[in-house]
Chains A and B, each alone.
Chain A
Amino acid sequence: MASWFARLNGPQTLGNGRGFWLGFVAVLLLLVVLPFFADEYLVNNIGYFFIWVFMAMGLSLLWGYTGILSFGQTAFFGIAGYTYGVITLNYGAAYGLTFAALLLAVALAALVAWIIGYFMFYGGIRDVFVGIVTLSITLVLETFMAQTAGPEWVIGTARLNGFNGMSGMPPLTIPWPGEDEIFLEGRYLFWFLVALVVLLYLALRMLVNSRFGNVMVAIRENPSRVEMLGYDIRRYQLIVFVIGGALAGLSGVLYTTWGTYITPSAMGLTAAALPIVWTAAGGRKDITATLVATVFLVWLSQILAVKGSQYALVLMGLILLVAVMLAPDGFVVTLAKKIAQLKGRNTQPPSNRSETKLAESPPPP
């Protein structure tokens, strides 16, 4: 138990101390009991914020930790969302099939990421060109899906429906003895999403603080040096790209089940910009900061979208611009560092304070 806990902390994440984890547990407990107090609308809404976290954390892994400029995470989001739609519209929701559809859809997104990633990294596409290729892919996918309005664009019984997108797919279901199935809706869906966020957040923290994570950040800092230490960096980049694709796919499926629809614009230029905004604003080099910023900014967008989504999007653009120009490390990370500095000044000299962050990981007791 203690050694597992030790693996969660390390040089690649902020918030390794007792205080952070106490706060983490407190927030988690609050979320777990929230459905008993709050009304259904609020619970549903917070669930909606969590849907986007996976795609953002994947981008943080790619762009922030490994230095891979992937501008087209929405491609995997869309692929998985459409796949979930096609499978469930064809085979229905019985016997927990929706979970199989979820897994299949995420697996397909990961597979596509593997193929694209293989061609890019083993083909020597680097730096800004990765950004161009990935962004082009998502834009072409959008154009492709937008022209599938005709009746010939049908898979099984599922029409792709062009610009209007697919709708009417069932939400996630759990098979239950004695009953047909339980729909994962309302508070159940909320708990499911909380569990998923926590699980993947912790898993990713372990990943980035592991030896693999050491190589990831090293590739970001100086790829040719990493190569000259004997690492096949293409393999590392490909693995991270596949993880990022799968996470974006997971967001895509959850989004599709949450609103029971998906449209081509989910893969468009505007949609593709949003994960960039969230990760850059929070602090792309830290997974916690990305998570916090994503939830906050999706919430903010939703409030502003009441007047029209364009107002929210202009604000997102401004936030991105200000973040890039004034807080390149991200607002959340900059803030966290300021707080750590203040605390460090009050308690102990700074040289000792960062000691624990440095070891590969504290030795198991």
Chain B
Amino acid sequence: MTELFAFLYQWGDAFTFLVLSAMGLAIIFGMMGVINLAHGEFIMCGAYVTVLTSRLNLPLPICMLCGALAAGIIGIILERLIIRHLYQRLFDSIVATWAISLIATQGTLIVAGPSIEGIKTPFGSFNMGGYSFSSYRVVLMAIAVVMLIALYLLFMKTRFGVRARATIQNPHMAKALGVDTGRVYSLTFGLGAALAGMAGALYAPTTTTVPTMGSAFIVQSFVTVVVGGANALVGTAPAAGILGVIQSLLASGFGQTTGQIGLLITVILVVRLLPAGLSGVLSRARNG
């Protein structure tokens, strides 16, 4: 019983990490086709802002929202200044995000130094059958599920969601029907950045805040997005679910690195067997 709980906890932890770290990347990729290589730096930005605002003795949730907001605003600015001009050149827009990543990491290193003092993990831990579990990680699991639902509702039930989906389906038609597609792209990029910032904010209490922290998230988020496929709303959660199983099994047996290598091999196999990712399979099943 306790073993089962321990495994579920590990799986949930892996699932949560994959969902939270991939969501922002998945939204931007799904809606715009751009692989945002500065994704890790938006995560880093969220974590830094959270840590810095927490020094003002604000409540932690507020600090985390500040982190997400800051990343989102920077995302919108960068979209306006840079990404917008490269929509016709997909590969170049990806390379541009890498340039942003490089500048952001090294710039932070110059401005803020090699590391800043982090914040303590809240809520402490609880015991069960001789194992100790972090309560905060359980809270994160709940947050991940809530965020998935919120995102689904945002894209399916709101005006913004309808416009965004119309824009991906057919940008020219959407424009002709009066959708401000530029605004949609800009908000989508901002949303993706904010979600990345949120991931950084939520994990800030559990990791060390260093300028290069983004690269600790980036492989997992890539892998989840590739396995999930182009439709981020449909694909991300099941992809994270399956990859979570693989990672938690391998990691508990052979260590974290083996877990990562396992993910990488899975991704190569998935691309080989299901080139459109899980969302491709799911939408095919739905259409009969």
Contact = CB atoms under 8 A, between A and B. Distances in A.
A289 B103 CA distance: 24
B82 A136 contact: no
B94 A131 contact: yes
**Chain A interface category by residue count:** 35 or more
A328 B92 contact: yes
Contacts of B264: 133, 136-137, 140
B267 to A, nearest CB: 7
B198 to A, nearest CB: 22
Nearest to B211: A310
B275 interface: yes
Contact of A119 (B35, B86, B92, B272): B272
A317 B211 CA distance: 15
B260 interface: yes
Interface stretch (B61-69, B105-113, B245-253): B105-113
B260 A143 contact: yes
Contact of A314 (B110, B218, B271): B110
A273 B101 contact: yes
B96 interface: yes
B202 interface: no
B108 to A, nearest CB: 9
A316 B215 contact: no
A123 B109 CA distance: 40
Nearest to A125: B271
A123 B268 contact: yes
A234 B222 CA distance: 24
A320 B102 contact: yes
A317 B35 contact: no
B272 A123 contact: yes
A186 interface: no
Most-contacted residue by chain B among A133, A144, A147, A268 (CB, 10 A)? A133
Contacts of A269: 40, 101, 105, 212, 215, 218
Most-contacted residue by chain B among A128, A280, A314, A324 (CB, 10 A)? A324
Given A123-B272, A140-B219, A270 B96 contact: no
Nearest to B103: A317
Contact of B226 (A129, A268, A328): A129
B110 A311 contact: yes
Most-contacted residue by chain A among B35, B85, B102 (CB, 10 A)? B102
A321 B100 contact: yes
B98 interface: yes
A317 B271 contact: no
Contacts of B242: none
B207 to A, nearest CB: 14
B269 to A, nearest CB: 8
Contact of A273 (B35, B98, B219): B98
Given A140-B260, A147-B257, A314-B107, A132 B95 contact: no
B100 A131 contact: no
Interface string A303-326: 000001011011011101100110
Given A140-B260, A325-B82, A273 B102 contact: yes
A106 interface: no
A124 B99 contact: no
A189 B89 CA distance: 42
A325 B103 CA distance: 15
A69 interface: yes
B91 A128 contact: yes
Interface in A94-122: 119-120
A276 interface: yes
A276 B95 contact: yes
Given A310-B110, A328-B92, A321 B271 contact: no
B18 interface: no
Given A320-B99, A325-B85, A132 B257 contact: no
Interface in B211-228: 212, 215, 218-219, 222-223, 225-226
B106 A321 contact: no
Interface string B170-195: 00000000000000000000000000
A139 interface: yes
A226 B62 CA distance: 55
Given A123-B271, A133-B268, A143-B260, A317 B99 contact: yes
Contact of B106 (A129, A310, A320): A310
A120 to B, nearest CB: 7
Given A69-B94, A132-B222, A133-B268, 6 more contacts: A125-B275, A128-B33, A269-B40, A276-B98, A318-B99, A321-B82
